[in-house]
Structure formats: C-alpha cells, structure tokens
Chain A
Amino acid sequence: MEFEEIYKTYWDRIFRLCMGFVNDYDAAQDLAQETFIIVWQKLETFRNESAIGTWIFRIASNTCLRQIEKEKRFPKSDLPVHLSEEKQASIEPQIQYLYKCIAELPETERIIISLELEDVKQAEIAKIVGLSEANVRVKIHRIKEKLTQKFKENGQQ
C-alpha cells in the first residue's frame, strides 16, 4: 500500500483516536502527525504479518501512551492558550461531551473504546492492546455502560 493511500484512508480514524485520548484538537492533530511520520519512516519495514490497520493503530496508540511523558514535562497550563475552543464551538455539544467523557477514562480504556467506535474488530483490538479477545469484549461492555451512565446523568440524550 502506498503511503499516500494510507494517509488518506487512515488520517481521520487516527485523528479521532488521538482526539479521544487527549480531547484537545491541536494536541490530537500533533499526535496524528507524529503517528504518520513514524508510519512514513517505517513503512518499508512493514511486513504483511498483520493487517495494515492493526499496524497503524498500534503505532498510534503507542504514540498516545508515549506522549504522557511530554505532558508531564510541559503541564498544559503552561502552554499558550490555543484557539482550539473556537474550532470546536461548531460541533454539537453531544459530540464534545462524548470525547470529553472518553478522555476522562483510564488510558487503556480510552484506546479500547476508540478502536471499538472506529469499527475495529474485537480480535484486532486484542492484538493492538495486548489482551485476550474475551477480556476486550468484557471491557468494551463495561466502558459502554460507563459512558451511557455519564450521558444519562448529564441528561444528554
């Protein structure tokens, strides 16, 4: 698969995954770019042992996990105020609320639910995260319950 094709196919999906992780438009954009830089550099080493989607999602989720270190180095409050609020203002509050709720989950749950919402198969999610399929299924079920609960409490239906 050519890089350009991958880029076009996966950018949106990777961006949403990152957005679910950080719930910050600019930071998500950065993380998605970082992911594609790695994809671009490593594309030659990709062997068709796994599906390309699994490969890309692994890189993306690991990139999200790794940025935790940067987060610690530059606390958010120290950064200049971004214009991200403005960009998001047009989005329905329900969508904003969903991303906010997801970004508040424990880190690995953010990744799991994001992949599920991206229609990644549970067997693939298991391969990306490193859990058994059964475990993934249980986790997805619980996370969805948690989200539904939050939506109900907030009256967002």
Chain B
Amino acid sequence: MKDEDIVERIQKNPKFMKFVNLRNNYAIVLTILMMIAYYGYILLVAFNKQFLASKVAVGATMSIGIPMGIGVLVFTIVITAIYVRRANSEFDDMKDEIVKEASK
C-alpha cells in the first residue's frame, strides 16, 4: 500500500487523535514541571539570594542552594528519562497498532 493511503486512513481513525492528544498532554505536563523547577530556581536567584545562601544546617558550610541546584540538574536528567521510557514503550506500541491497522 502507498504511504498516502496509509496516511489518509490514519487520519480517519479516531484512535489517532486520541493517541496524539494523550502523548502531547503528557509532554506538556512534563514541560510545565521542568519550567517550574527551572524558573523557580532562577526566580529565587533573582529575588531571594539570602535563602539560597543560607546553610543546610546550623554550623554547616554548605548552603541550601547547592543541593537544590544539583537537584535541578538531576531532576532534568530524570524527567527526560521518564518521558523517553514511556514514549519508547507505551506510546510507540499505541502508534504501531494504529499504523498496523491502517496498513492492512
């Protein structure tokens, strides 16, 4: 079957838009979480430097901002991995099924 025909049949399949919306909503939620983590940190830098410079414990030298900053770095890696894991398994399976139905 030609690609154009498959594309047309996928367009007509209601499952397709459901799949697109599901995956996009998931991507948007994760994007918003990332934005909150990053801009939250940046706004602390801009507005509340004292908080970031305050110590993790009484008598400690390390400031709260350092583990928080490393935390944002680790969060970035983890959130990317979470998306890729779900997209490469669940979402790709849904996609493959839709394409298979259209290719019959």
A binds B: no
Interface residues of A (CB under 8 A from B): none
Interface residues of B (CB under 8 A from A): none
